[in-house]
Structure 1
Amino acid sequence: MKNIKLAKINAARRALDFIKDGMVIGLGSGSTVNIFIKELSNFVKEKQYIVSVVPSSYDVEILAIKYGLRISTLNENPMPDIAVDGADVVDPELNLLKGGGGALTREKIVDYSSKKLIIIVDESKLKESIFVKPVPVETLPFSWRSVVEKILASYDCSIELRMCGKGKVGPVVTDNGNFILDVYFKDKQHLPSEVNVNLKLIPGVVETGIFSNKFVDAVIVGYENKVEILTR
């Protein structure tokens, strides 16, 4: 069985090669980014670097504080020097699917605002299509049923309102106070950019988990015993 945890550690550590003294670093979210945060903390202490981080979620902010990293915001630093984020799926063109943890909107804002975007994943995230998993769509609670009907009228798909698990009943509520719809597309060959645009034209849709490859500078893929860097 493949050691996925080791693969994630390898990807996270390789991302440290992109970190320089004085940087403002955007932080995405997910299990591999959580590893990166710990590694980053050790790295900057060892190098005696002064860096600041811009978290994309409350969860990541809490973890960054735990490891002693300096917290900043996009309002203080509107264009971070670099963003390091994970992904749920990476396709051959380096389009990404994100949002499994519910932070897609803030992740996209931080990632797209940064001067450079580095994605860190383990090898299991490489797929032929981002549509092998459901596409998260953040929606206003006020209009989620309307959004569902409009998506169903446009695509052959099924849709689920994401519900909470242990610790809370009812739907998942994002850091922005919104709901998340998980859209399961029957056709896996859709063009990601077109689906993203079409979904965002629906009133009530805040953001989608489809991230365009044009903002991705590199994808660091971790394996048990090596690291591969993919670029467009």
Structure 2
Amino acid sequence: MPAELSPIDKAKFVAARRAADYVEDGMRVGLGTGSTAAWLVRCLGEMVREDGLRFRGVPTSTRTAELAREVGIEVIGLDEAKWLDVTIDGADEFDPELNLIKGGGGALLQEKIVATASDQMIVIADAAKEVSNLGHFPLPVEVVPFGWRTTQALIEESLVAMDVLGRDMTLRMAGDRPFVTDEGNHILDLHLGRIGNPRQMAMVLNQIPGVVESGLFIDICDMVIVGHGDGRVEVRDINAGTVTEDRLDFVESENLFSDLGD
């Protein structure tokens, strides 16, 4: 029930609820992956059931697709949609220029493909995700399994010339086995502390053989909606150069809060 939610979960909910207002009938909408994006899917599912909202969703992971179907959202693939009106997703970090680190949930490749195939990307987050410099959250880098240790060594070599605080790197695990993405790849998490030049970092990483994609989202996000535990919501639109704030009433909904296994 809502009263049992932590302030962080309440912040995620109000950000997701505010972002849901940007979805209109007939749209093709990218649906992100992660705990905050799951709140969005639940909110949109309730709007489908209660308000008759009709749109088609393009999920960025198998678990988002499963949740979307469960709550009644029509799910299609990106090849069928071709282009999207908006993608709404969470982030692990965002900086003042709305550059992002994503991939904590392991879906960074599909998330980036879907986001860049959209007219607009909206990020929903709690206030703790805002940072002055990216890099405190480990940077995920998706790599092909073949020769991943060689890829790791090449990344380590490239980091020597980068403006970072640390260069530690770990292979993401799922229990006693390497984590496997929806595309069958592995993820290396780079513990950098601070990334002085995210744009340069993204370019260098994507030139390394074996690297599929990095979790740096540069010049992709158009708007960040920041939720707070007291119901305040801040909307930052980088294209319009505006920052607005309002407050959402935290209303109980059995449909929305009945299944929180996320």
Question: Quick one: which amino acid aligns to residue 119 of structure 1?
Answer: V
Partner of 1:153: 157
SS class of match (1:99)? coil
* Whole-angstrom distance in 1 between the partners of 2:174 and 2:133: 27
Give the Cα separation in 1 of the matches to 2:178 and 2:81.
33
- For 1:32, give the aligned amino acid: T
| Structure 2: gaps spanning 5 or more residues | 1-5, 161-166, 239-262
Task: Describe the SS at the equivalent of 1:130.
Answer: coil
Aligned partner letter, 1:200: N
**TM-score (norm. length: structure 2):** 0.84
AA aligned to 1:152 is E
Native 8 Å contact 2:98 2:222 kept in 1: no
What is the one-letter code of the residue matched to 1:53? G
Deviations 1:25-56, CA, capped at 9 Å, x for gaps:
10111101101101101112333121110001
Contact 2:49 2:72 in 1 (8 A): no
User: In the alignment, does 2:108 pair up with 1:104?
Assistant: yes
Q: Decide whether aligned partners of structure 1 residues 189 and 142 sit closer, same or farther in structure 2, where only a CA change above 3 A counts.
A: closer
Tell me how large the CA RMSD over aligned residues is: 1.2
Provide the residue aligned with 1:223 in structure 2: 228
The yes-or-no answer on 1:163 pairing with 2:169 is no
Listed one character per residue, the Cα deviations across residues 140-174 of structure 1 (whole Å, up to 9, x for unaligned) are: 00021111111111214011111113xxx310000
The CA distance in 2 between the partners of 1:189 and 1:158, in whole Å, is: 13
Quick check: which one's helix share is greater? 1
The one of 61, 71, 75 equivalent to 1:71 is: 75
The DSSP-based 3-state class of the residue aligned with 2:14 is helix
**TM-score with structure 1 setting the length:** 0.94
Equivalence map 1:16-165=2 (5 Å): 16-156=20-160, 157-165=167-175
Alignment partners' CA distance in 2, 1:230 and 1:79: 24
Runs of 5+ consecutive residues of structure 1 not aligned to the other structure: none
- Structure 2 counterpart of 1:114, which letter? S
In the aligned structure 1, how far is the partner of 2:126 from the partner of 2:114?
22
d(CA) in 2 for partners of 1:161 and 1:12? 31
Count of residues paired in the alignment: 226
Match of 2:228, as an amino acid?
Y
| Identity of matched residues, % | 42
* Residues 182-203 of structure 1: per-residue CA shift (max 9 Å, x gap): 01125x1421111011001000
Counterpart of 1:174? 181
